[in-house]
Amino acid sequence: MDLSVAAARVLCGAGGSGAGAQPGSRPVAVVGRDPRVSGEFLEAAVVAGLASEGVDVLRLGVLPTPGVAYLTGALAADFGVVISASHNPAADNGIKFFGPGGVKLPDPVEDEIEVELSGARTGVRCAGRQFGRVSEASAEHERYLDHLIAALGAGQASALSGLKLVVDCAHGAAYRIAPRALRRAGADVTAIGVEPDGLNINLGCGSTALEALASAVIEHGADAGIAYDGDADRCLAVDAGGQPLDGDQILTVLATELKEAGRLAGDGVVVTVMSNQGFHDAMRAAGIAVIETPVGDKHVSAAMRDGGYLLGGEQSGHIIMLEHAATGDGVLTSLQLLAAVNRRGLSMADAARLMPRYPQVLLNVPGDGSRLGPGLAAAVSRAESQLGGEGRVLVRPSGTEPKIRLMVQARDAGLADLVISQLADAVRLELADHPHR
């Protein structure tokens, strides 16, 4: 409750009206959640805090995070709130805020909310002494569904016609809306992971555990499978044989489709430094520029807006299509991916082969990244030389744990294993040589 009070004070401003509110009127917030059990009481606390600060609340109920972002803008709300822990286990939960238009809050605004929450700043009620009103708004789910279908353009009702699909909703926020969207676009859909009990979200299913989807696709003789995470802001796919497609491969399909249609702004796509070397090769062959950012969708989003690009994303399947959405949207991405594949007469396996994926090895070395010395640069240079220009090397301190994350990509899996092993030894040596840096 205290967090929502602090957020209301910052996002509405001390003067009493939110960014979109008329002078003298109460600001409006939309609130949605995923189905994990703790979301019920967290939602109650968030709503109570907002209403106590004079904010009118539209309760959306269980809805994907990107759906809340979209409705924040579509309903001209002053801000949006999502209660979700995304791809994490049911025991976890979190609270995310969107600003006007459904965009993520800038870091300085989040910092300001933290200051308000700590009690370091005295706040005043957003709308004088009035309390906000709370309204049920689950009917607005239809507005979001209509938006997803409209983004397919002409022929939307048959965009996926002829496709037999399995969709895994991770017992999460998309369990109702994703199968409906795919069916409205013309697909024959078998849905799994659509029985949330508050405790089974992401449990052995969804985009973090593709085995269940792969098995179901083979069992049902489907053309492809789609998996979302708990809040459906990302998606991954599998082909008819159950082989996975990651976010880089999905981006390859979307980028080349937009390029051929003359709709790829700046003829460029934004990805993180974790992107596969095969993606870079595919983009070079297609005449598409690749813009790299640090890891994290907020960095991708910022680079897209700064550079005027419309497409970007991560290997995890978090894809941003600014032509249609302000943030990553797994259901939107799956519709666009499947429509592109269907339009071109490709199988999902054919689509995967558009990008020659390099074997990739990841390894974490325990330690404080600030202790890494100058010898690391030499070790990275040696690793890159071993790859002969046909691969990628990345060493970065974790932003959440006392670990150094290593990544090596190479055309040969054995070489990738060898290089990352030697690189890990070099990192450990650096940490031992500089224990107090």
Catalytic machinery residues: 86
Tokens at residue 413, please? 């899996």
User: 229, 189, 223, 190: which is closest to 209 by C-alpha?
Assistant: 229
Q: Do 126 and 50 meet the contact criterion of CB atoms below 8 Å apart?
A: no
- Bridge partner list, 33: 62, 83
In angstroms, the CA 400 to CA 417 distance is: 25
> Sign of dihedral through CA atoms 19, 22, 27, 29?
negative
Q: How far is CA 263 from CA 69, 267, 320, 332, in A?
A: 24, 8, 15, 17
In angstroms, the CA 231 to CA 87 distance is: 7
Burial-class residue 436 by CB neighbours within 10 Å (0-12, 13-18, 19+). Answer: exposed
In angstroms, the CA 81 to CA 38 distance is: 15
Residue with tokens 């055309």: 411
Q: Which helix (H) or strand (E) holds 426?
A: helix 413-433
